[in-house]
Amino acid sequence: MTDHAPPSSPDRTSIAEAVVSIESDGLARLESAPRLATLREIERDVLGKRSELARLHTRLGQLPSDERREVGALINAARDRLQSRADALAASFESQERRSRIEAERLDLTEFMSGPLAAPLDAIGRGRGHLNLVTETRTRLEDTFVAMGFAVAEGPEAETDWYNFEALNMPPAHPARGMWDTLYLRLDPPGTVLLRTHTSPVQIRLMESQKPPIYAVMPGRCYRRDTPDARHLPVFHQIEGLVVDRGITFGNLAGTIEAFTTSFFGPGMHSRLRPSYFPFTEPSAEFEVTCPICAGAGCRTCSGSGWIELGGCGMVDPNVFAAVGIDSETYSGFAFGFGIDRLAQVLVGLPDMRALLDNDVRFLAQF
Ligand code: FA5
């Protein structure tokens, strides 16, 4: 202030002092906001229509016009500084909140490694999976048969009535069809396309597509309208075997099953055949192997008999050869088929087969 300047009015001084104290108080309050929502409330208090700063404007009228302009500018400058500080703080809160939201929504796959599943995963080596028990068993079976001179073939899971039943000596309405609870697909004409109930249709496809000699195994998934229980699944796996050549006898069938049993289960393990019935083999048999759990001594798994039933087998019926155009006067053959899941169940002593479908890593990691 110079000697020439007129002295300030008391109102000007008091309003100017109020601007300074309102600004410093307002700044401190804005700085104290812990989060965006609180900041917005304080901003309304400090800069809103009912704020102390706004009320100062109403007092400007008490001042002479030159002082009114000067003090008005003071108030506006204070408001601008407070507003720009509030904006800066809000921007920083917003970016912080965006960062935390992204962090919270991030899919942290490494959490899996430290959660409740970490222990079983540690047992098999972190992050490394392995083949499912059924797949491992199927691979071992294939290796065993390949070592015995068999080829491996596959066929479709959705089959026609011809391949699943008719060509296998089960014409329409044949009572033996009732042995397999079939799932039909909704395709026209109804009842013609189904989910294969066994791997035997692959025998037909093979005999249609190649001339004897045939020595092949055919593993794959099968479907039946079976209620799941400890020993049944609606989706399971079988492996089929087929040999067609000149002069094949029932003795060859029994010898092949015995050779497979010893090779797959180990020395001292044997097989035996019991008369049975299948429409596509004649004669037919069920084959059993020494119980792998008790090595034939008798245990709960084999109900004390020392034997486990594995599947069915028999000499290829001449009607089946006729269906695929193979001369049964020149060629003869045998076939067998058994459940891979059932075999895996016996091998690891699994009380309930349904555990194979649960996909519980704690169960699967054991094998
Ligand atoms: C058959 O399916 C014949 N095709 C086997 C055959 C092939 C006989 C060649 C003669 C010549 P069967 O319905 O018995 O037969 O089934 C064979 C095996 O499949 C059974 O012994 C069992 O191990 C397995 N299996 C059958 N149904 C189920 C199921 N719902 N769940 C799990 N395994 C099953």
In this prediction, residue 1 has a pLDDT band, given cuts at 50, 70 and 90, of very low
What mean pLDDT is predicted for residues 213-237?
95
The β-bridge partners of 160 are 193
Residue 190 backbone dihedrals phi, psi, to 5 degrees: -55, 145
**What integer pLDDT is reported at residue 101 of this predicted model?**
87
pLDDT single digits (tens) 77-100:
999 999 999 999 999 999 998 898
Residue 351 tokens, joined: 């009380």
Residue 297 has pLDDT above 80, yes or no: yes
Residue 2 has pLDDT above 50, yes or no: no
- Whole-prediction pTM: 0.69
**What integer pLDDT is reported at residue 364 of this predicted model?**
86
273 vs 252: CA distance, rounded Å: 13
**What integer pLDDT is reported at residue 91 of this predicted model?**
93
**What integer pLDDT is reported at residue 113 of this predicted model?**
59
Other CB atoms closer than 10 Å to residue 48's CB: what's the count? 11
48 vs 2: CA distance, rounded Å: 36
343 vs 319: CA distance, rounded Å: 30
Residue 132 has pLDDT above 80, yes or no: yes
342 within ligand 1 shell (Cβ under 6 A): yes
Residue 271 backbone dihedrals phi, psi, to 5 degrees: -130, 160
Other CB atoms closer than 10 Å to residue 70's CB: what's the count? 13
Q: Which long-range contacts (CB under 8 A, 24 or more apart) does 8-12 make?
A: 8/67, 9/63, 9/64, 9/67, 11/59, 11/62, 11/63, 11/67, 12/63, 12/67, 12/70, 12/71
231: CA distance to ligand 1 center in Å? 12
In this prediction, residue 4 has a pLDDT band, given cuts at 50, 70 and 90, of low
DSSP code of residue 114? T
Domain boundaries, the chain: 12-105, 133-364
144 or 14, which is more confident? 144
pLDDT single digits (tens) 164-182:
999 999 998 888 888 888 9
Indicate which residue's Cα is closest to atom 7 of ligand 1. Answer: 337
285: CA distance to ligand 1 center in Å? 12
**What integer pLDDT is reported at residue 122 of this predicted model?**
61
**What integer pLDDT is reported at residue 213 of this predicted model?**
98
Please choose, from the candidates 194, 128, 189, the residue with its C-alpha nearest in 3D space to the C-alpha of residue 162. Answer: 194
Residue 228 has pLDDT above 50, yes or no: yes
- H or E element that contains 275: strand 271-278
pLDDT single digits (tens) 26-39:
999 999 999 999 99
Mutation choice for ligand 1 from 214, 342, 352, CB with most ligand atoms inside 8 A: 342
pLDDT single digits (tens) 60-81:
888 888 888 888 888 999 999 9
Indicate which residue's Cα is closest to atom 25 of ligand 1. Answer: 339
Residue 7 tokens, joined: 């002295």
The β-bridge partners of 223 are 235
Q: Judge contact between 292 and 306, C-beta under 8 A.
A: no
54 vs 75: CA distance, rounded Å: 9
**What integer pLDDT is reported at residue 3 of this predicted model?**
45
Q: Name the average pLDDT for the chain.
A: 90
Burial of 267 (0-12, 13-18, 19+ CB in 10 A): exposed
Domain 133-364 has CATH 3.40.1390.20: no
Other CB atoms closer than 10 Å to residue 130's CB: what's the count? 12
**What integer pLDDT is reported at residue 237 of this predicted model?**
98
Residue 10 has pLDDT above 80, yes or no: no
Please choose, from the candidates 70, 89, 97, 98, the residue with its C-alpha nearest in 3D space to the C-alpha of residue 26. Answer: 89
Ligand 1 atom with the smallest distance to the CA of 203 is: 9
